Amino acid sequence: MLFQKITILGVGLIGASFALAVKQRGLCSVIAGYGRKEENLQRAMEKGIIDSFDLDPAMACRDADLVLFATPVGTFLDIAANIHDALKPGAIVTDVGSIKGILVRELEAQLPDSVAFLGCHPIAGSDRSGIDSAVPNLFMNAKCIITPTEKTNDIARDKVVSLWKTFGSVIEVMSPEEHDRVYALVSHFPHLIAYAIMNVAADINSSYLKFAGQGFLDTTRIAASSPELWRDICIMNRDNLLACIEVFRENLEGFSRYLRACDSESLEKEFERARTLRKGIGQHCTQKSKTV
């Protein structure tokens, strides 16, 4: 057993799946939950996801050996200020947020010196949210990015890594800043574009959507994700996202030129360039990763 008490701040899809994974593997004695909606927390208790809950995050965190931030990233700093005095010396604080960068640095500065923080980002989830979609094997064979800094406590790091490995996750290590550059491109930007495609459809004629096929549905699936969650992510990673948008704009302008000129040869070359890269993604994903 790695921990006596774990507190999960935010009992949604990821937080609840984390709790189920811990319980399935017997990794702690008690799991406490915190959230904004008592009804959701009560249901989580009834489903056996958590053992207790509190609407005050500080109360939920008392005596916790591990505290997991699983709320929208925009709430992290306010919650950290709230729980500051409730964290016991030696506690480990971690998270499952999609943003690291400046957020990791600010959390390290705001949390007590007597606790250890390690940023984590499991690359797992769904366009569906909530405890009804939670499963204990959500993280099996999924990457989990950890973002240690020069302040990271080695013992805490080993415990957190051991936890994710027990879930069946593949650990990869990068700096908080590199994480945000990478995931701006491969996660945050695609979500932004999916939302934009749906809004383009609404602006042109939303009644056309009844004719949508599987390609459109696949392309826009992630536009069904939580607007609150992705609002915070996009704002907090805006500089990297703006860089992606600029390159995207240049690509769209190129397509516009080719279409206006009926330049089918250039269009085909661009399509083939994209197709070749897309077909190679499987090879990139199976290449040996930097693990710990």
Residues 233, 181, 167, 83, Cα dihedral to 10°: -50
Q: Is the pLDDT of residue 32 over 50?
A: yes
For residue 184, what is the DSSP state? I
**Chain centroid offset of residue 205 CA:** 33
Of the listed ranges 122-136, 145-159, 256-270, the one predicted with least confidence: 122-136
Domains along the chain? Answer: 3-174 (3.40.50.720), 179-286 (1.10.3660.10)
Q: How far apart are CA 62 and CA 30, in angstroms?
A: 12
Task: Count the Cβ atoms, other than its own, within 10 Å of residue 12.
Answer: 23
23-43 residues labelled b (16+ CB within 10 A) or e (exposed): beeebbeebbbbbeeeebbeb
The strand order across the sheet containing 3-9 reads 52-54, 28-34, 3-9, 66-69, 92-95, 116-122, 143-147, 170-173
Confidence of residue 281 (pLDDT cuts 50, 70, 90): confident
40-55 pLDDT tens trace: 999 999 999 999 999 9
Helix (H) or strand (E) holding 143: strand 143-147
| pLDDT tens digits along 85-117 | 999 999 999 999 999 999 999 999 999 999 999
Helix axes 101-110, 227-236, angle to 10 degrees: 90
pLDDT tens string 171-200: 999 999 999 999 999 999 999 999 999 999
